[in-house]
Amino acid sequence: MTMADKDLDLMLRAARDDTTPLGDGLRARILADAVPAAVAQAASGADRVRAWIGGLVGVPAAAVLGLWLGMAQPTVVLEFVPADVGVDTADAALMDEIFGTVWSEEDAG
């Protein structure tokens, strides 16, 4: 009897169920990997929770502080704002050239 295509197909399909025992050394190495991986998972999970809490508390706190600073201490804010925040003549001319309108410090507020 020679190898027919059908026989080969059956042989290949049967090979699907094959198992090969893991050696003791390999088994030990794989299981040794599992513990540090679990520890790393736990650590990264805790870090993620800490980062979330930081974000949840930090963003509203920063917003409230900004509002308080702007409303209660305007002089502190204005101290850091340049006195000349309007559009100077050269900028106005450039804007005019680009947009075809008249730009002046009054228009810009």
Partner 1 sequence: MRAALSPAYAGGAMEDAREIEAGLLARAGQGDGAAAAALLDRLGPRLMAFSLRMTAGDRALAEDIVQEAFLRLWKRAASWDAAGAAQMSTWLGRVAANLAVDAKRRSARTAPLDDAGEPADDAMPVLAGMIRAEGLSALDAALASLPDRQRQAVVLRHVEGYSNPDIAAMLGCGVEAVESLTARGKRRLADLLRETEGDDHGR
| Shortest spacing between CB 50 and partner 1, in angstroms | 16
The answer to whether 80 and 70 are in contact (CB under 8 A) is no
Contact footprint for partner 1 (CB under 8 A): 1-3, 5, 8-9, 11-13, 15-23, 26-27, 29-31, 33-35, 37-42, 45
23 in the Ramachandran plot: left (φ > 0), alpha (ψ -120 to 50) or beta? beta
Question: Looking at beta carbons only, is 31 or 71 nearer to partner 1?
Answer: 31
Q: For residue 95, what are the contacts with CB-CB under 8 A and spacing of at least 6?
A: 87, 101, 103
Cβ nearer to partner 1, comparing 18 with 79: 18
Residue nearer to partner 1 on the CB measure, 26 or 59: 26
30 within 8 A of 22, measured Cβ to Cβ: yes
Cβ of residue 97: shortest distance to partner 1, in angstroms?
A: 55
